[in-house]
Structure 1
């Protein structure tokens, strides 16, 4: 009789889940593709770490990953359907059943799809917004890298997977070393500095922050654009740490001249050595991507890599970010128009440089050998303790934020590898949280699900404490942008709806609360990002996701939405568009209160009206 996950073979069953194939395995887990009632899923078992006999610790890791996935419920995060134990329902190995994502890892997507800069920027803009929403709930991935990001084949939506290293505010501490689990060459300079200065203290624990996840996202974006890692994982560990703490990687455009300058400026800011010089949170990064996309010219639509590799020119030179100030280009800060700045917090700092003259852009084409097999589906974390490292930190030079048109040169080859490889700062970088939010309001949602594997697990989530407001006050009597107006009317016409605005529809304010009983919004509202879902076809089609911002002032709340994810229907593909929408109707702008609401303890309705408008 089979009693261990490693002995499971195709054709065998775990409860009602029939195993089709093994997708991958590592030191801490094994993942199978399974089928139940005609639907495909991914089933992940937690395994003991090498040399460990502590089953309780293995269970604790698995339950923590499950809790993080539930707290991180989001369209761009792999969904949990069920969990249980096997072969014994009480004492067996713990497993989690998740979505089986039809797609590839980010690394393979770059190789196969040969995306343009526009497609890459759109994908990373989604990731930035997703991370912003997760961080607002105090959920941190802590192991972002190309193998942990899947690109769904049907719509090129990025899906975050493998939360085996993740953490959330209410999770019990499991880390027994100064640094949390992670991949070395995606760690921040401040994390490595903390380890160097505090590794001898058994009670020292690095306080992981939103800027750590965003830095790892920046390293990932560098790899996607340049085709090689920002910091080579093949370096000796001590040298790798020195490079991360002290050295800036080569300019991405020196390795791939097809990278637009505004996109390069975003990467360089993400990789700044000091946390306060980077984007403070995901919403600010998302806004930077969207501003760059709005100003993008046709060169953004050219594939970043050619299908056939070419030999590296012998005369090419490698530039560093310090060379940027001597280029004969118009240089200015990477900042959106004033109207856009009003929609999001100001960045921690503005980067600038003065124009000068220099030789034209040079290029160095990357030629790398395969470093290892890609991690299938990115669902497994192969973690190891991080040893004591010695290095010294020095302040980095300022990086220029470029706003120039891309230089037309021959396309570099698509890389064959580099995508699969990996003391606190003096300033305080706060997680973007509403100050004073009680800890109990950030608790994980209570989830009642049968431990039997046949039972799907659905969870009504408490709304998160959201991030710092985009602006101090909602927009009033301002025109909707021409882009948003055009996209709204085009979408409405495609679905046979009247394109004359205003239009009023019904919306569920928190899209996560499908399974909440009653008419009241559980957990209330807090100032910050919000994702809602439409519940009729009077304006946008039903089940359209609305992405926006909520402002709370005492017992009054107001919501404005600026993007919509419209589902596909028939021959009409799904789309994500800019919109102008607010809560209420033609006369009302505030969220309705429930009957039990009082001025001291406001309670809002779960479902309200929304209106598409031409003016805010």
Structure 2
């Protein structure tokens, strides 16, 4: 796309500071996703007023048009990022569509929870506010459908949560985003019922999953699990087929069994949100709000403790200031809730669900067996023969094809002679380690141990999360 009569080609995802988009001047880039880029911009008619501009990467982007329609009307809410108008770039008539919204200085929910001093009472209060907001949006017929920690920003000025990124949102009359059975989403935040629908979708060509409020509430449960334990219920590093089987068949450990600091009442609410059967979850955002407010009303001192334990590290230099480091609990070891389906019963069904079932069966034969202590209320101990450890550590994932990027990984261009570029993302090659002795959180590929290069975290704002292919 040219900005100077064809002399200089600039991508909508690469605008330099000082670039004008309508009445807005770009100050800095805040992030780039699969469908759009987000910039902090200054209103040139009111210098000193800063907002966020989300600009589509393609000129005719129906997803951005859907989001604009939603943000202008049904999604307007005190705890949803505010909408201020539209702009196009580089042509005001035919350029890429963008819209201007509040710039929300603050931290994503998971990062905020891992800040020294954040307490369980503060987290439960923020979660209750998000639940009430979702309930009010659901009552208007609006579903978020891509709720994850980075789409919940805790505002720096007042500690209030703000929902971002309704690019995958749904409302009555909204055109579909994809031709597949599911909209753009994030696999490890999908509900069990959505995964089951995905498995059976080959039997119903052209069918689309109908998201429900309980899907959003399940995703909020995953977000709260991540905030209280430092981990997702099921690792995002698991292969897709194993991860899907875990979501359907495996019971995640209660948060208090992963992080003993978690108050029992908060742990119980999160466990209920992650129930495999949607009828066993909180039926509405209002009900979840009430449950979290009731839990956080406790006078017990545990509610006012820091979510994670911290240790003080002596300074490297004499006279320096000691540093405090977070101590995350080990990755949880979930257990099966029920025996996986008999593969022979899947003979008349599509091959895809059968392969998923077989993948889960193989996982069970390879991992060590452990029994999970019973947790009440509403949880039963699994049969001993079906209790399992679903972790990927210490064995790293192995790929014959180039590995896909993971969340928060630096994307190309990569630093020459230091980073390796694969699948459009940047990786470190561990020169001193070779398969099969790759350390945890690395990937074995073509005889090398590769570690994702993390991207620098800017001030969080409404960055497009993209679809599963972008994860």
TM-score, scaled to structure 1: 0.52
CA distance in 1, matches of 2:233, 2:374: 23
Instruction: Give the structure 1 partner of residue 148 of structure 2.
Output: 145
| Deviation by residue 1:225-246 (Cα, 9 ceiling, x = unmatched) | 0111111011011100010000
Instruction: Give the structure 2 partner of residue 25 of structure 1.
Output: 32
Instruction: Give the structure 1 partner of residue 63 of structure 2.
Output: 61
| Deviation by residue 1:171-220 (Cα, 9 ceiling, x = unmatched) | 12232110111000000000010011013544210001100000000001
CA distance in 2, matches of 1:96, 1:105: 21
| Deviation by residue 1:235-294 (Cα, 9 ceiling, x = unmatched) | 011100010000011221122101000100000000000111111110000010111122
CA change 1:382–1:123 in 2 (3 A) is: closer
Are residues 1:6 and 2:31 paired?
A: no
Query: The residue matched to 1:262 in structure 2 has which SS?
Result: helix
Instruction: Give the structure 1 partner of residue 51 of structure 2.
Output: 41
Q: Is the 8 A contact 2:309 2:326 kept in 1?
A: no
Give the counterpart of 1:257 among 260, 272, 280: 260
Q: Is the 8 A contact 1:125 1:286 kept in 2?
A: yes
CA distance in 1, matches of 2:224, 2:109: 10
CA distance in 1, matches of 2:219, 2:196: 16
Instruction: Give the structure 1 partner of residue 355 of structure 2.
Output: none
Give the counterpart of 1:112 among 103, 110, 115: 115
CA distance in 2, matches of 1:321, 1:115: 32
Query: The residue matched to 2:308 in structure 1 has which SS?
Result: coil
- After superposing on structure 2, the runs of 4+ consecutive aligned residues of structure 1 that deviate more than 6 Å are 310-314, 321-325, 366-371
Q: Is the 8 A contact 1:251 1:321 kept in 2?
A: no
CA distance in 2, matches of 1:263, 1:244: 21
Q: CA deviation at 1:313?
A: 10
Query: The residue matched to 1:283 in structure 2 has which SS?
Result: helix
Give the counterpart of 2:135 among 132, 135, 138: 132
Instruction: Give the structure 2 partner of residue 587 of structure 1.
Output: none
Q: CA deviation at 1:326?
A: 5.2
Instruction: Give the structure 2 partner of residue 95 of structure 1.
Output: 98
**Larger helix percent:** 2
Q: Is the 8 A contact 1:107 1:224 kept in 2?
A: yes
Q: Is the 8 A contact 2:186 2:468 kept in 1?
A: no
Rg larger in 1 or in 2? 1
Q: Is the 8 A contact 2:231 2:332 kept in 1?
A: no
Q: CA deviation at 1:319?
A: 7.8
CA change 1:177–1:318 in 2 (3 A) is: closer
Q: Is the 8 A contact 2:148 2:189 kept in 1?
A: yes
Q: Is the 8 A contact 2:103 2:461 kept in 1?
A: no
Query: The residue matched to 2:30 in structure 1 has which SS?
Result: strand
Give the counterpart of 1:218 among 200, 206, 221: 221
Q: CA deviation at 1:325?
A: 7.6
Alignment of 1:6-405 (within 5 A): 6-36=13-43, 37=46, 38-48=48-58, 55-56=59-60, 58=61, 60-70=62-72, 71-199=74-202, 201-308=204-311, 351=378, 372-373=454-455, 374=457, 377-384=460-467
Q: CA deviation at 1:12?
A: 1.8
How many pairs are equivalent? 347
CA distance in 2, matches of 1:306, 1:352: 27
TM-score, scaled to structure 2: 0.68
Q: Which runs of 5+ in 1 are unaligned?
A: 49-54, 334-350, 355-365, 387-420, 423-616
Q: Is the 8 A contact 2:41 2:52 kept in 1?
A: yes
CA distance in 2, matches of 1:326, 1:212: 26
CA distance in 2, matches of 1:320, 1:267: 17
After superposition, the CA RMSD in angstroms is 3.0
| Deviation by residue 1:397-425 (Cα, 9 ceiling, x = unmatched) | xxxxxxxxxxxxxxxxxxxxxxxx97xxx
CA distance in 2, matches of 1:197, 1:375: 40
CA change 1:311–1:385 in 2 (3 A) is: closer
Q: CA deviation at 1:40?
A: 0.6
CA distance in 2, matches of 1:32, 1:296: 43
CA distance in 1, matches of 2:178, 2:329: 47
